[in-house]
A and B are shown apart, each in its own frame.
Chain A
Amino acid sequence: MTGALVKLELLRLRRSRAAWAILAFALFASFYSVWSGVSWRESHSASLVAYEAAIEAKMDVWLETLVAIESGERFATPFDARPSQVEFAATHPVGPLGHLAVGSAELLPARANIGPLKNQNLMVERYGFENPTTLTLGRFDLAFLIVVVLPLLMIALSFDVIAADRSRGTISLLLASRASKQRVIATRLLVRNGILGGIVALAVVFGIAMAPEGAAAFGLLWSLVFLAYSLFWIGLIYLVVGRTRRSETSAAVLVSLWALFTFAAPALANSAGEALYPLPSNLDYLSDARVAQNDAWKRRPELTAKYLSDHPELMANEQEAPEFAHAYFLANVMEIESTAPIVAAFEESHARRSAFVDKLQFTSPAIVAQRALFRIAGSDFDRTLSFLTQARAALMNLNDELRPVILASNRMSTEDFAGLSGFEFKSNSPAAVLGQISIPVAFLVLCLCLFVALGRPGNRYSPFA
């Protein structure tokens, strides 16, 4: 019987122009979104590689000069191969599936210059040249397609799954066969959304195949979230179409639920998070940083003298470095120390806001899916925050390593240079991401189970009761 229902449904779909239009749109939009994401990934990654190469080339020249000075092949001017000129590139690589969810990645900093003449404020290389108008709405990426557009297409394809038979008067004929109403609805929903989901799944597989090596585990997690989210919507549609008699009512209810879940709930959760857990202002941070820089500038002789009085062995310098080198260094160290509380407050407020949104996400499957997909893709805000924290730590570490030679106006040895710790971004493993998304995804599956249980004929709340 199910086989006959499937065949009938496929025939109906073949004859429906609206269904063809929806499926064609899904095909175009899903592959377009992958293409758009891949081109963003390629250009962004190329830019990061070019940045790293430029810093590396600069340091190669610096090191060659130092080697030449050490071997006596070159006369050293006060500006040559100074430790204050050491730089390392810190880059935030695109996440394993970043092309499937551009998310906040196009907005946030991805390059930092780790060097003793930088502070937290200036280490992040200048960015933000994008058109603010186009940033406002975000990208048409696969995550957007899955979270926002796919449910809408599912609704468009399924809202009249049974009501059309009612309005045509063919329902009695249909139910005169051995098929129960819930089986008819379930079969039709699975056939229609199976084809739609299959098209999007093809794009997902294609997108995963376009990922760099080592992203297979993340691809699996992404597919899992995609499946759970799609099934959630099929379950919800199953309940609604079974409970409503008229197709326009089904459409109105489902579109309202879609608008509630994808617009209203996220907007309210975001506004509530902003209002209840405001982050310290960037402008406050800037003000504190400038006060600290100014103080350090005014107190530089005192601070240098204090450090050298604690380390008299460093005073025998081979050649006086320009004064601005250690003046800037001291100003930056002081700036880092004095803005540490505001940075800590920012991180704490963000953690509290994030924990709050973690709870609120259960008000909307769209929030659950978006957060999970962003996390798996490596495009979430937390990952950028982690990059900035790691870059700050690397900067402080380098300052500690270089402090003695800079303040003593000495030159470092090539051996010491080789021993400096650079920067390597540490990202979450698939297991860690799975830990982060397991409860939200379990929630989607639980909702699906609930819908199925509610839809069983014996249940008093069942639409088919």
Chain B
Amino acid sequence: MKARVIAAKEALVARRGKRLWALSFGVIAVMVASMAIGLNRTATFETERAAAAESDKAVWLDQGVRNPHKAAHFSRYVFKPIPTLASFDPGAIDFGGIAVWMEAHIQNPSRFRRAESTGDLSRFVGLSPAWVLQVIMPLIVILLLFGSYAGEREDGTLRQVMSYGVSPGSVFKGKLRGASSALLKLLLPVFALIAIAVFVFDRGYPQEDLPVRLAGIVGIYGIYLFAFAMLTIGVSALSPSRRSAAVSLLAIWCLVTVLLPRFANDAAVAATPQPDSYQTWKDLEEIKAEYWGVIPAFGIPLTDIRKREMARFLEKFQVANVEDAPVPWSAWELQASEEYSDPLYDAYYAGLNDLYGRQEDTRFWLTALSPTISVMALSSGLSGSDRLHHYDFVKSAEEHRRVVIRQLNEDLLYNSGADPMVYESPTSFWGEVADYHAGPPPLTNFTGNYLPYLLVMVLWASGAFLFARWAAFRAANMETAV
């Protein structure tokens, strides 16, 4: 009962101060602007992707009669679909390539990172609804709640309340209810706005599990902001005045939301340096050349790998010379070389992925100091715009490349007759080559990767709650003792 009265008083003070309304209005204005920018970007990117995919198909179908291996070198591109929720949180989407060239012999990296053409200013910050919730909203929470205990202590009202026999627990409960109510009033319109924007106006590639992802986003930001609210109440309760509470909380906000995420990023790269692009590409070319010895391999003595493959070929067709086999050896070898290098590429890219994972592990340990790092990881994961979703696209593009190259090699193997070098596939064949249709992967593919971050968020929120409760009881007891 007493707690409800205190909560009602908190709400009344907030209403009278007009601070809540002003902040709500400001947040919604920034959110509308950032959401509009996000929706526009996603729609533009998806339109560009669809046009590029269509153009790529048209060029492929229009290549006329051509040797299938030459076609395999020209090959096709696959383009990364931009998921709906990238409007809310673009995450790492601008920093991963958006097109993969499905060339024969080699697994190319994804290319055309959008961040490369956004100029120097984008290195400051990208305005997005997720950024507003991650950086600006905690500041709003601090501005709303920094005086919750410190103000009452400074004005002497906390002592008055305690002298009426109200227990410290009731005061804390009242403050908690007041804070939750203020937070809900701020967040409900924000989340409603996001939901409307995503379900009604978004032109991104549809995500089948969109409602689950959106619910997850609401949940993690709820936990994140609750943690900040509790931290604010706790610091306010420990501070002798509004001034010291405001100053301490502003320092915490700067450190936690601005400095530590950037520092964590740098520390991750310092602990595990980025792969050197030149060396990485050289390694991939070495994998490409491992089967052949050197490319082009005309007139070069056979490598041991080729000799073994030739022996397998002769045994399979029960012939003594490759010329006696029912299919051409050179065409057979093209597919054999692909199958030889496929696991090597898998291992190499898995190694790169492990390296990225180690970098993110370093970042993860710094979440102990900043929940913003956790919420960034979870938010981009739930939005389908993080590195894990990007890697899934790269993997699915590679699977598709293998299907396409096999199709082309088999055409050469079964239809080229004695001389695959001069064989040309008919124009109608290009239409038989499969198109790439994979959309964004489901969230369930990555649940295990996000659980540690979620756990850290829950720990942060629980820790902040316990801290606030301890600080509030201490403040109330001190007032009673005086």
A binds B: yes
Chain A residues lying within 8 Å of B119, measured Cβ to Cβ, are 104, 270, 273, 350, 353-354, 357, 381
Q: Does B247 lie within 8 Å of A266, measured CB to CB?
A: no
A201 at the interface (CB under 8 A from B): no
Q: Does A381 lie within 8 Å of B262, measured CB to CB?
A: no
Contact string against A for B residues 48-69, beta-carbon threshold 8 Å, 1 for contact and 0 otherwise? 1101100110010011101000
Quick one: closest B residue to A159, CB to CB?
B247
Chain A residues lying within 8 Å of B443, measured Cβ to Cβ, are none
Quick one: closest B residue to A324, CB to CB?
B70
Contact string against B for A residues 128-169, beta-carbon threshold 8 Å, 1 for contact and 0 otherwise? 111111111111100010001100100010011001000100
Chain B residues lying within 8 Å of A109, measured Cβ to Cβ, are 116
Q: Does A126 lie within 8 Å of B109, measured CB to CB?
A: yes
Total chain A interface residues with beta-carbon distance under 8 A: 87
Given known A-B contacts A79-B296, A129-B277, A287-B56, A270 and B243 have beta carbons under 8 A apart: no
A60 at the interface (CB under 8 A from B): no
Docked CA distance A251–B298 (Å): 73
Given known A-B contacts A251-B246, A287-B51, A270 and B95 have beta carbons under 8 A apart: no
Identify the interface centre among A54, A259, A271: most chain B CB within 10 Å of its CB: A271
Chain A residues lying within 8 Å of B280, measured Cβ to Cβ, are 126, 129
Q: Does B124 lie within 8 Å of A266, measured CB to CB?
A: yes
B residues 264-294 in Cβ contact with A at 8 Å: 265-266, 268-270, 273-282, 284
Within 8 Å by CB of B63, from A126, A127, A248, A294, lies: A294
Q: Does B56 lie within 8 Å of A132, measured CB to CB?
A: no
Quick one: closest A residue to B110, CB to CB?
A128
A316 at the interface (CB under 8 A from B): no
Docked CA distance A248–B244 (Å): 8
Question: Which of B171-179, B186-194, B209-217, B251-259 lines the interface with chain A?
Answer: B251-259
Docked CA distance A126–B116 (Å): 14
B462 at the interface (CB under 8 A from A): no
Chain A residues lying within 8 Å of B94, measured Cβ to Cβ, are 136
Contact string against B for A residues 242-269, beta-carbon threshold 8 Å, 1 for contact and 0 otherwise? 0000111001100100010011001111
Quick one: closest B residue to A127, CB to CB?
B277
Chain A residues lying within 8 Å of B114, measured Cβ to Cβ, are 282
Within 8 Å by CB of B265, from A138, A148, A287, A367, lies: A138
Docked CA distance A164–B263 (Å): 32
Given known A-B contacts A128-B109, A132-B390, A294-B63, A271 and B127 have beta carbons under 8 A apart: yes
Given known A-B contacts A130-B275, A134-B268, A287 and B55 have beta carbons under 8 A apart: yes
Q: Does A267 lie within 8 Å of B92, measured CB to CB?
A: no
A62 at the interface (CB under 8 A from B): no
Within 8 Å by CB of A148, from B41, B251, B258, lies: B258
Docked CA distance A298–B258 (Å): 55
Chain B residues lying within 8 Å of A298, measured Cβ to Cβ, are 63-64
Closest chain-A Cβ to B211's Cβ sits at a distance in Å of: 26
A177 at the interface (CB under 8 A from B): no
Given known A-B contacts A247-B243, A270-B118, A134 and B254 have beta carbons under 8 A apart: no
Within 8 Å by CB of B123, from A79, A138, A350, A357, lies: A138
Within 8 Å by CB of A134, from B48, B125, B263, B274, lies: B274
Q: Does B387 lie within 8 Å of A131, measured CB to CB?
A: yes
B145 at the interface (CB under 8 A from A): no
Question: Which of A43-51, A223-231, A305-313, A407-415 lines the interface with chain B?
Answer: A43-51
A residues 55-72 in Cβ contact with B at 8 Å: none
Q: Does A43 lie within 8 Å of B273, measured CB to CB?
A: yes
Chain A residues lying within 8 Å of B165, measured Cβ to Cβ, are none
Docked CA distance A252–B243 (Å): 10
A residues 357-372 in Cβ contact with B at 8 Å: 357, 366-367, 370-371
Chain A residues lying within 8 Å of B281, measured Cβ to Cβ, are 125-127, 129
Given known A-B contacts A266-B125, A354-B119, A255 and B250 have beta carbons under 8 A apart: yes
Chain B residues lying within 8 Å of A294, measured Cβ to Cβ, are 59, 62-63, 74
Q: Does A125 lie within 8 Å of B278, measured CB to CB?
A: yes
Given known A-B contacts A107-B116, A129-B109, A247-B247, A275 and B37 have beta carbons under 8 A apart: yes
A464 at the interface (CB under 8 A from B): no
Docked CA distance A346–B117 (Å): 10
Docked CA distance A381–B118 (Å): 9
Quick one: closest B residue to A281, CB to CB?
B48
B98 at the interface (CB under 8 A from A): yes
Docked CA distance A106–B276 (Å): 11
A453 at the interface (CB under 8 A from B): no
Identify the interface centre among A48, A133, A271, A282: most chain B CB within 10 Å of its CB: A133
Q: Does A286 lie within 8 Å of B52, measured CB to CB?
A: yes
Chain A residues lying within 8 Å of B268, measured Cβ to Cβ, are 134
Given known A-B contacts A79-B296, A111-B278, A159-B247, A284 and B116 have beta carbons under 8 A apart: no
Docked CA distance A156–B246 (Å): 12
Docked CA distance A273–B122 (Å): 11
Quick one: closest B residue to A288, CB to CB?
B55
Within 8 Å by CB of A275, from B40, B98, B259, B261, lies: B40
Q: Does A371 lie within 8 Å of B74, measured CB to CB?
A: no
Identify the interface centre among A251, A263, A269, A270: most chain B CB within 10 Å of its CB: A270
Contact string against A for B residues 155-171, beta-carbon threshold 8 Å, 1 for contact and 0 otherwise? 00000000000000000
A-B contact pairs, 17 of them (CB 8 A): A54-B282, A79-B299, A104-B119, A108-B116, A129-B352, A133-B360, A140-B263, A140-B265, A140-B266, A251-B243, A251-B247, A267-B126, A279-B117, A287-B55, A294-B74, A298-B64, A357-B119
Q: A104-B119, A252-B143, A381-B119 are in contact. List 12 more A-B contacts (CB 8 A).
A: A43-B276, A47-B278, A129-B275, A131-B387, A138-B123, A282-B114, A287-B55, A287-B56, A291-B55, A357-B121, A367-B124, A370-B123
